[in-house]
Amino acid sequence: MVETFVEDTYCEAFPAWVSRIVISAETIEWARHAATSAVGFATSVIGCGIEAGIEKAPVTAPDERPAVAVIFAGMKKDSVAKAVATRVGQCVLTCATTSAYDGHRDRTDGITFALGKSLRYFGDGYQMSKVIAGRRIWRIPVMDGEFVVDDMMTVSPGVAGGNLILIGPRGLLLSEVPAIQEEMQGSGVILPFPGGVVRSGSKVGSKYRFMSASTNHAYVPGLRSLSDNVLPQSYIAYEIVVDGVSDEAVRASLIRGLHRARQRIPIVSAGNYGGRLGPYQYRLHDLVQEDPA
C-alpha cells in the first residue's frame, strides 16, 4: 500500500435530468447487445448532448427475463426524453428478443414523456396496447415476434459530473484505474466515458469564445512549464466521471472509488471549478471519513 496524498479540494457536479430504461431479452447477452448500442456516442454533454452508460448491478425486469439497466443524463429534460426515445427505437427495438421498460416508473419527482406511445407507429397499424397491473405497454410486431415497450418513460432529477482525478506513474495508473472504476460502479450510477476513464479531462471555459470547455492544462504532462500545472515529474493523470440518479448515489460511488484509490494511487484530486460548473460539491477529505457502502 502506498502513502496516498488526498488533496484538500472538492469535485464539482451539476444538476441533470436522468432516465433509466430496463432492457430485457431472452438471454443476458442480447440485453447487453441492445444496451451497449443504445449508450453509444454518449460520453459527455459537451459534445454528445447526452451522457449514458450501463449500470453494473443486476436488475429485475417486469417480464422477469434477463435484463440490464441503462441510465441517460442530460441538461434538459426534453432533450433526454428525445434521445432516449430515439435510441430505444434504433438500438433496442432492432435487437433480437428485447423489450424496454421505464426504470423510474415509481419515482414521484419525475416528468413523463412518450416512449412506446411514439414508437408504436412502427407497427403500421398492427400494434396493440394492453394494461397490465396498471402499466400500459405496447406490443409492436417484429420479425422474431413482438417488441414490448412501456407507453411512457420518466425523466427525473439527477446529478452529473462527479469526479476523481488520479495522479501517478503511467504504468501504475493503467493497471490500477480499471479496478477503481469497477469499484465505483453500482446501482443508480454510470461512468459514461470509454472504460469508465477520461484521458481528456476538461476545465470550464476556454481562450476560444465558441468553446464552453477545454483541456484541463493543469494536469497535462507536456505543459509542466505553466505556473498552474500541478503534475509532478514522470506522473500523468486520469479522471473518472460519475453520473447518478441522485446526490446520494453519486456520493456513494465517489466514496467507494476514493477508498479504493487510496490503496495504490500516489495522489488523488478532483475537478474544482470554483462553483462555475454546478452546486454539488463533494469534498474529498469528508468522503475519506465515510465508510464505503
* pLDDT class of 3 with cuts at 50, 70, 90: confident
Question: What's the CATH number of domain 5-13+158-288, 2.40.10.330, 3.30.70.520, 2.60.40.10, 3.40.50.2300?
Answer: 3.30.70.520
CATH 3.30.70.520 domain position(s) in the chain: 5-13+158-288, 17-156
| HEC sequence for the chain | CCCCEECCCEEEEEEEEEEEEEEECCCHHHHHHHHHHHCCCCCCCCCCCCEEEECCCCCCCCCCCCEEEEEEEECCHHHHHHHHHHHHHHHHCCCCCCEEEECCCCCCCCEEEECHHHHHHHHCCCCEEEEECCEEEEEEEECCEEEEEECEEEEEEEEEEEEEEEEEEHHHHHHHHHHHHHHHCECCEECCCHHHCECCCEEECCCCCCCCEEECHHHCHHHCCCCCCCCCCCEEEEEEEEEECCHHHHHHHHHHHHHHHCCCCCEEECCCCCCCCCCEEEEHHHHHCCCCC
Domain spanning 17-156, CATH architecture: 2-Layer Sandwich (3.30)
- Convert the pLDDT of each residue in 116-138 to its tens digit: 999 999 999 999 999 988 899 99
* pLDDT class of 98 with cuts at 50, 70, 90: very high
131: cell is 394494461
**In this predicted structure, what is the pLDDT of residue 274?**
82
User: Residue range 166-188: average pLDDT?
Assistant: 96
pLDDT at 77 over 60: yes
**In this predicted structure, what is the pLDDT of residue 275?**
81
* pLDDT class of 1 with cuts at 50, 70, 90: low
- Convert the pLDDT of each residue in 252-278 to its tens digit: 999 999 999 999 999 999 998 888 888
- Convert the pLDDT of each residue in 207-227 to its tens digit: 999 998 999 999 999 999 999
